[in-house]
Amino acid sequence: MKQQAEISDGRLLEGFFKRLTFLATLSERQMANLIKDFSLFRVGKGDVVFHQSDHSADLYIVIEGSAKASLINEEGQELILATFQKGDFFGEMSLLDGRPRSATITAAEDSLLAVLKREKFLHSVKEDPIIAIDLLSALVRRLRMTDEMMESIAFLDVSQRLLRLFQQLAEKEGEKRKDGFSRVRKLTHRELAARTGSSREAVTKALKVLSFRNLVKEEKDCLWVSPDATETVSRMP
């Protein structure tokens, strides 16, 4: 359930927002005015922020916690399109075109979200059009990532999809050991299946294959991905 929170320190939000590419060009006056237009909401783990096809057009920024964008079919099967960590934003497609939501957003953990109404955003764009250009650039990057996901589902087997996912996670959040292996946070087999368009059973089998080939090493709280994974994705049968 959403719970509205107080914006206790505008300077804290200002410093946070200045790290976002599409807001970094704002003047101090514009930034101060924009912060006043944001609302803060707390959501609990598993809470739905909005559903696919909902008629809403607000922009959300993750201040604390994380969220995921997914498609869910009539049988309840889930395909995770993207995840959003602290500092990420979502909702930009409906924000720009005013059409219904294209995916369901769910809080992956207890989170704090900053929310900006579409009309407030459009007013800011009139004052500084570069905001829209930077936001469009971010949108294009995400569409390219979605294209890559669809390509993986269509042309790659489950082992290759997992390796590609691990590579993406390693590039975004991983740390490297001296031997070149990259640390990736551990996800459940259900989560991995949802993010690769496969089943839990297929993921379990694929992880055994990857472990046997020494491409992925599993530890209690993480996975280590081999530096050979990039080349392996391109040549695996």
Residues sharing a CB contact under 8 Å with residue 50, sequence separation 6 or more, in sequence order: 56, 91, 101, 104, 105
Say if residue 68's pLDDT is above 90: yes
Q: Which residue has the tokens 């669809």?
A: 150
pLDDT of residue 136: 81
Say if residue 233's pLDDT is above 70: no
Query: How far is the C-alpha of 161 from the C-alpha of 204, rounded, in Å?
Result: 13
Query: How far is the C-alpha of 203 from the C-alpha of 209, rounded, in Å?
Result: 10
Q: Higher confidence at residue 145 or residue 102?
A: 102
Vertex 165: Cα angle to 229 and 71 (nearest 5): 160
Lowest-confidence pick of 87-96, 125-134, 187-196:
125-134
